[in-house]
Structure 1
């Protein structure tokens, strides 16, 4: 068996080999990128174990789903995934939006492009997690209006509350959601255009 010198391959070329189940190319991709990905996660989290876990999970997922993934800019993709995993860690730790706002500037270390399906999935998860945090009545009103397409009058009758209460709750929820989406959009824009 001939030994291949992977050091001359670009990360994108290595990923093409990885898609073909080349374990040596995968190991090389890991070695070439682990340090930078780990350092990014560690700088954001200040936790060695979690930073290592993020990068290792990223590579396990990359290997397991290598045939389904269509990645054109491997380095940008890897750094983007680490950023989202860092945000997920903060979300699990129930970091407040004030703290998340403080992180925005530090999250931008590497300009990259997004894979649209990845962002769409993250946005849906982000919004669904937010909906779960709403007070019970506000959550029910939101679901009736936007998931079941009920009118203000119908919601009022279903929940036995005044139409004005429904309108106020919807307005409060819409304003909060708008703020949430603005923060998410700001993160995305910073990822795209940050320096």
Structure 2
């Protein structure tokens, strides 16, 4: 059942001590977190330790942490563990250089891609019908849950889901960029 839930629902369950929700989060993100760490360290054991430390801390702080977006939170935690590793002098100069290169190159290229994508998405979102646009913005740009949106607008959760589906279908259809590349970053995320 946990595999079908979105990140927000999993976070809510985890705060209530639901171990299966925590396990699902681990299954979804641990591999990509490990690969992110491997891009910096190239040492399997260190990267495994970093990911484990992130999840140990995450579980321990589950009731206190105010996590809005799960994936960015987890990857920021990996980065924090990396810097802890550096601070504790457990990293070579070569690893430190690789970290700086990875961080700078990812930051620049991701920023450029993000800015370009954000501009294109804004143009397309502005073409949505008013209610559909409003719901999509609340969901994707203000990170509100379907339930929060439904309460705020006085409509059913199903109506919110329908409008998000409508917006996603429109955006998928109209988000074709150069050379036919279709950007589906958050367009494919769950309702």
* TM-score after normalising by structure 2: 0.50
- Report the structure number with the largest CA radius of gyration: 1
Larger relative contact order (Cα-Cα within 8 Å, sequence gap ≥ 6): 1
